[in-house]
């Protein structure tokens, strides 16, 4: 069964700052999944469970960087053109079948192995075909070429024995290509984190059902499905739970037996009809992070036995914000990743804005290009945490620190693109 360090979420305190909450979360979160080997085709998006060490040089042999002619540099006249007979050829995958000889030029193609000589290293310089002129069976080579030109050395990209990918790295297509280049056929990765997701609320209905007065369709659960699947976890849909203590308690208890993490949206505030808090406390511990943030409260973190629990807000925009800044780093850490924080970029804003000092805020914004070609962030017209169209409009979030109380047009801010939700 998955385990966390003891009291992982027991932070306490009133209105904790975001930076402090993230620091503690990062320090106390440990990987809770085992490892498995997958083939290269199934590796993108997975997290490497051990260092990958190159077993060979890349490229494995000296080769030509261009189409042209391989020659011994010492055969060239430094002051005038040199004419050499063309006596052989080598292409990628088809090495010269005899030792190279001094006083000759060999037709060579990009990627072709540099020929070896009889008792020496062989030709050491490659002339681009565009710089040379053919005359019958010979090639005329102009002066001025540098020794070793257009020759790629074995191990120029990767040296045998080097660590090329480190444990905890989330694998991208280019990383998998790098693994293939050293001959790897499979990679040891962390197993997928098993995550159970459900919504709570008697007002919440499945899309496609008949919507009664006062009802709303469940958007949050579908947002969470997409957000979680981009992180490479295995998601179980527990549907919508009715607002009944025993129903919530039973669903949490059952899910904790076969999952590594439980995530809910809604039902975690202090209202009489919100039973998440009581159910989690009955089964384990619930530690509210009373964070000074907007949007995002209530955000609940806890444990059911040793299985971590995240209770996200009920408003859809707040779900997106708190997932990006809090749930995502936790999920990646539990999954074995070493880089868990989303990257932000510094951009100017094209609007004025007043904010309450003492709390962290996130504004939905689109990147726009001005008349001079510069990029700036433009805020959505409305700020409500329930306005899901704002998240569709936006390219990401402007993050405003606790100390800031106003923005003026041109102010440089941190911008977190929604691409970082992946």
**pLDDT means over runs of 10, the chain (422 residues):** 45 70 80 95 96 96 96 96 96 93 96 93 96 96 96 95 97 97 97 95 92 94 94 95 90 96 78 73 80 84 90 90 93 94 94 93 96 94 88 96 94 94 77
Measured distance CA(80)–CA(384) in Å, rounded: 77
Query: Closest Cα partner for 176 from 56, 39, 50?
Result: 39
Contact of 369 with 375, CB cutoff 8 Å: yes
Any idea which architecture 18-34+192-334 has in CATH?
3-Layer(aba) Sandwich (3.40)
Strands 261-265 and 307-312: parallel
Can you give the pLDDT at residue 268? 58
Query: Closest Cα partner for 322 from 299, 355, 343?
Result: 299
Residue 104: enclosing H or E segment and its boundaries? Answer: none
Can you give the pLDDT at residue 103? 96
Can you give the pLDDT at residue 274? 65
> Given its phi and psi angles, is residue 295 left (phi above 0), alpha (psi -120 to 50 degrees) or beta?
beta
Map residue 285 onto helix, strand or coil. Answer: strand
Can you give the pLDDT at residue 7? 45
Q: Residue 214's CB: how many other CB atoms inside 10 A?
A: 7
Map residue 335 onto helix, strand or coil. Answer: coil
The CATH code of domain 345-421 reads 2.40.340.10
Map residue 179 onto helix, strand or coil. Answer: helix
The DSSP call for residue 350 is S
The pTM score is 0.85
Give the CA distances from residue 116 to residues 63, 87, 125, 357, in Å, rounded to whole numbers and listed in that order: 11, 15, 12, 72
Measured distance CA(231)–CA(170) in Å, rounded: 9
Measured distance CA(353)–CA(362) in Å, rounded: 12
Distance of CA 22 to the CA centre of its chain: 18
Query: Closest Cα partner for 184 from 193, 192, 196, 175?
Result: 175
Can you give the pLDDT at residue 15? 76
Can you give the pLDDT at residue 276? 83
Residue ranges of the chain that CATH labels 3.40.980.10: 18-34+192-334
Classify residue 75 as exposed, middle or buried by CB count within 10 Å of its CB (0-12, 13-18, 19+): middle
Helices 245-256 and 276-283, packing angle to 10 deg? 50
The DSSP call for residue 236 is E
For the segment(s) 63-152, the CATH number from 3.40.50.300, 1.10.540.10, 2.170.190.11, 1.10.287.70 is: 2.170.190.11
Map residue 280 onto helix, strand or coil. Answer: helix
Residue ranges of the chain that CATH labels 2.40.340.10: 345-421
Kindly report whether the peptide bond that precedes residue 44 is cis, defined as omega within 30 degrees of 0. Answer: no
Can you give the pLDDT at residue 292? 87
Query: Closest Cα partner for 43 from 204, 187, 159?
Result: 187
């Amino acid at each position: 069964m998955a385990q966390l360090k003891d009291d992982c979420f027991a932070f306490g305190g009133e209105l904790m700052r975001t930076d402090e909450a993230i620091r503690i979360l990062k320090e106390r979160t440990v990987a809770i999944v085992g490892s498995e080997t997958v083939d290269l085709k199934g590796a993108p998006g997975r997290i490497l469970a051990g260092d990958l060490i190159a077993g060979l040089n890349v490229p494995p042999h000296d080769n030509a960087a261009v189409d042209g002619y391989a020659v011994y540099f010492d055969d060239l006249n430094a002051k005038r053109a040199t004419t050499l007979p063309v006596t052989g050829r080598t292409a990628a995958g088809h090495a010269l079948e005899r030792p190279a000889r001094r006083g000759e030029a060999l037709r060579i193609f990009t990627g072709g192995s540099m020929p070896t000589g009889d008792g020496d290293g062989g030709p050491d310089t490659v002339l681009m075909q565009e710089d040379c002129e053919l005359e019958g069976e010979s090639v005329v080579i102009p002066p001025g070429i540098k020794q070793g030109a257009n020759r790629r050395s074995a191990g120029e990209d990767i040296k045998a024995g080097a660590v090329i990918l480190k444990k905890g790295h989330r694998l991208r297509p280019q990383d998998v290509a790098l693994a293939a280049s050293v001959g790897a056929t499979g990679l040891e990765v962390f197993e997928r984190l098993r995550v159970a997701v459900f919504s709570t609320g008697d007002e919440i209905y499945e899309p496609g059902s008949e919507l009664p007065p006062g009802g709303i369709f469940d958007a949050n659960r579908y947002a969470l499905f997409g957000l979680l699947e981009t992180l490479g976890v295995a998601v179980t849909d527990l549907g919508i739970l009715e607002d009944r203590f025993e129903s919530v308690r039973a669903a949490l208890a059952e899910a904790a037996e076969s999952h590594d993490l439980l995530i809910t949206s809604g039902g975690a505030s202090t209202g009489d009809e919100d039973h998440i808090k009581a159910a989690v406390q009955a089964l384990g511990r619930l530690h509210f992070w009373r964070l000074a943030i907007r949007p995002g409260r209530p955000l609940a973190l806890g444990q059911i036995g040793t299985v971590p629990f995240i209770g996200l807000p009920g408003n859809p925009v707040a779900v997106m914000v708190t997932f990006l800044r809090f749930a995502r780093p936790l999920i990646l850490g539990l999954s074995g990743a070493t880089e868990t924080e989303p990257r932000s970029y510094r951009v100017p804003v094209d609007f004025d804005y007043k904010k309450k000092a003492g709390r962290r805020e996130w504004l939905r914004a689109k990147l726009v290009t001005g008349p001079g070609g510069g990029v700036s962030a433009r805020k959505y017209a409305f700020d409500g945490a329930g306005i899901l169209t704002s998240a569709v409009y936006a390219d990401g979030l402007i993050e405003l620190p606790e100390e800031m109380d106003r923005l003026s047009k041109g102010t440089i801010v941190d911008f977190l693109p929604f691409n970082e939700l992946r």
